[in-house]
Amino acid sequence: MKLDWKRRLGCLEREAGQSLAEFSLVFLLFVLVIMGIVDLSRAFYAQNVVTSAAREAARWAAVNGGSGVDAAAKAVAPGLQLYEMTVIYSEPDSRSVQVDVTYIYRPVSAWIARFLGDSGSGPRLVLHSRSIMRKEGT
């Protein structure tokens, strides 16, 4: 009877070691997936903010003229690195204004960065939005 009990205890100890090894592999995969989800969520957020900044800057330019367009776009961009944002104002014709906003998104996780590739200044994703509005009073 004693021998049978010791044999069962040894089997349980080996199963505990196997469970630990399986958990470590699954946990690593789980962390990679979560980091990817977080990084892609940040990219979608940045694209939404860039689109909103272009719209707000175009509205500002349509009402107030071309001065202050850069500040108007950057004022509605919370959570972004403003030095990575470029705002270009133009007037395609005498009745409308056009604002182009470009933002360079840099991922946090190296896993996503590997898919974006390296363009010389590190992995990045260029986000762009254009908004065209009619001038007020024309």
Q: What integer pLDDT is reported at residue 136 of this predicted model?
A: 84
pLDDT in tens, 101-119: 999 998 887 767 777 666 5
- Alpha-carbon distance of 134 to 51, in angstroms, equals 17
Query: Residue 85 burial (CB < 10 Å; 0-12/13-18/19+)?
Result: buried
Whether the Cβ atoms of residue 59 and residue 73 lie closer than 8 Å to each other? no
DSSP designation for 87 = E
* Closest to 125 in 3D by CA, of 103, 105, 102: 105
Per-residue pLDDT, 6: 57
Mean pLDDT of the chain: 85
Summarize the confidence of residues 26-47 as an average pLDDT: 91
Higher-pLDDT residue of 125 and 44 is 44
Q: Specify the pLDDT at position 21.
A: 84
Q: What percent of the chain has pLDDT over 70?
A: 80
Q: Identify which of 41, 99, 34, 38 has the alpha carbon closest to the alpha carbon of residue 65.
A: 99
Domain boundaries, the chain: 2-134
Q: What is the pLDDT of residues 88-103, one digit of tens each?
A: 999 999 899 999 999 9
pLDDT value of position 89: 96
Give tens-digit pLDDT for 39-92.
Answer: 889 999 999 999 999 999 999 999 998 889 999 999 999 989 999 999 999 999
